[in-house]
């Protein structure tokens, strides 16, 4: 159907609802039936000690790096609880992508430096001139060690603090199973944690069963790597971690199937 390449296709979005609405609207305009099935939700850190100490001693850091909007939100929410606002912006500020930069701007920290490639590797490349300096890195407990590892190789002192935890969302997992049982055509992943929960919820046999007919779409390199580790190479990867690019990747994966 011209202009509606996803007509009669069912697409499952596994990221939290608030972050899914723009993509869902785009997919619906292309004809898709969209199921929101957030596989993960955030929870407080296992301990506030590290984050509290970092917030109260922020002046000792030359720079701060954020790799998710949720990390930004958790960081500033805790600062608000501690009555530590407003926080002085570090001399150097880095964000992995536009969504993270937007969260920083909303909190009052504007103009972070962004990499061309929205990944830990891309971020490490733009974090220059920090040898011998201290960098604050608030993150999820389950966060990858790629960025701190690359920075330490450059002689940077990295302080990682747990700002939040990512845990499975039982309600979202139930919606996922229902959608798959009814014949979902594609599943969109926007985080390594969602890919891990998907693989665990379905098991190896369930993943293989879905992949025999369904398609998987990734938001970017880091998520794609996690998907491959879970035994499900993405059918398509977004060129940029934004809704418009994700929607194009979904179309690419499903239209490629139709033309095969």
Q: What is the pLDDT of residue 118?
A: 87
pLDDT by residue (tens digit) across 215-253?
999 999 889 999 999 999 999 999 988 999 999 999 999
Instruction: Using pLDDT thresholds of 50, 70 and 90, give the confidence band for residue 155.
Output: very high
Alpha-carbon distance of 176 to 192, in angstroms, equals 17
Contacts of 227 (CB under 8 A, 6+ apart): 189, 195, 216, 218, 233, 234
Average pLDDT over residues 186-212: 96
How distant is the alpha carbon of residue 168 from its chain centre?
15
Span 128-140, pLDDT tens digits = 999 999 999 999 9
Which band of pLDDT confidence, cut at 50, 70 and 90, is reported for residue 256? confident
**DSSP, residue by residue, 58-102:** GGG-SEEEES-HHHHHHHHHHHHHTT-PSPPPPSEEEESSHHHHH
CATH of region 10-39+169-259 = 3.40.50.10090
| Euclidean distance between CA atoms 30 and 4, whole angstroms | 4
pLDDT at 257 (0 to 100)? 55
What mean pLDDT comes out for the span 66-72?
95
Do 10-39+169-259 and 43-166 share a fold?
A: yes
Position 117 pLDDT exceeds 70: yes
* pLDDT value of position 88: 92
Q: pLDDT digit string (tens) for 193-202?
A: 999 999 999 9
Judged on CB neighbours under 10 Å (0-12, 13-18, 19+), 137 is buried
DSSP letter for each residue of 123-165: HHHH--S-TT-EEEEEEETT--SHHHHHHHHTT-EEEEEEEEE
Query: pTM for this structure?
Result: 0.86
Residue range 171-191: average pLDDT? 97
Helix, coil or strand: residue 57? coil
Of 154, 126, 147, 184, the residue nearest 71 (C-alpha): 147
- The answer to whether residues 189 and 217 touch, using CB atoms and an 8 Å cutoff, is yes
Helices and strands counted in the chain (H then E): 10, 10
Q: What is the pLDDT of residue 14?
A: 98
What is the Cα–Cα distance from 3 to 236, expressed in whole angstroms?
Answer: 20
Q: Mean pLDDT over all residues of the chain?
A: 95
pLDDT of 3: 75
**Length of the chain, in residues:** 260
Structural domain boundaries of the chain?
Answer: 10-39+169-259, 43-166
pLDDT band at 258 (very low <50, low <70, confident <90, very high): low
DSSP-assigned letter for residue 18: H
Mean pLDDT, range 72-99, rounded to an integer: 96
Of the candidate CATH numbers 3.40.50.10090, 1.20.1070.10, 2.60.40.10, 3.90.920.10, the domain formed by 43-166 belongs to 3.40.50.10090
């Amino acid at each position: 159907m011209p202009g509606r390449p996803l007509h009669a296709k069912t697409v499952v979005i596994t990221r939290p609802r608030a972050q899914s609405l723009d993509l869902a609207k785009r997919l619906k305009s292309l004809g898709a039936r969209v199921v929101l099935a957030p596989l993960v939700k955030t929870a407080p850190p296992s301990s506030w000690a590290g984050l509290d100490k970092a917030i109260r001693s922020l002046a000792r850091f030359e720079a701060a790096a954020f790799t998710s909007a949720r990390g930004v939100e958790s960081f500033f929410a805790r600062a608000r609880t501690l009555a530590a606002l407003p926080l002085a912006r570090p001399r150097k500020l880095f964000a992995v992508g536009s969504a993270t930069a937007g969260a920083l701007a909303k909190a009052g920290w504007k103009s972070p430096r962004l990499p061309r490639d929205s990944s830990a590797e891309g971020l490490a490349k733009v974090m220059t001139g920090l040898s011998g300096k201290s960098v604050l890195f608030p993150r999820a407990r389950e966060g990858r060690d790629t960025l701190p590892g690359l920075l330490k190789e450059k002689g940077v002192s990295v302080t990682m603090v747990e700002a939040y935890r990512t845990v499975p969302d039982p309600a979202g997992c139930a919606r996922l199973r229902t959608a798959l049982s009814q014949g979902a055509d594609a599943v969109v992943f926007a985080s390594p944690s969602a890919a891990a929960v998907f693989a665990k919820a379905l098991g190896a046999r369930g993943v293989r069963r879905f992949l025999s007919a369904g398609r998987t779409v990734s938001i970017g390199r880091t998520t794609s790597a996690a998907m491959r580790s879970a035994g499900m190479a993405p059918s398509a990867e977004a060129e940029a971690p934004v809704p418009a690019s994700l929607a194009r990747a979904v179309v690419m994966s499903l239209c490629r199937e139709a033309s095969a």
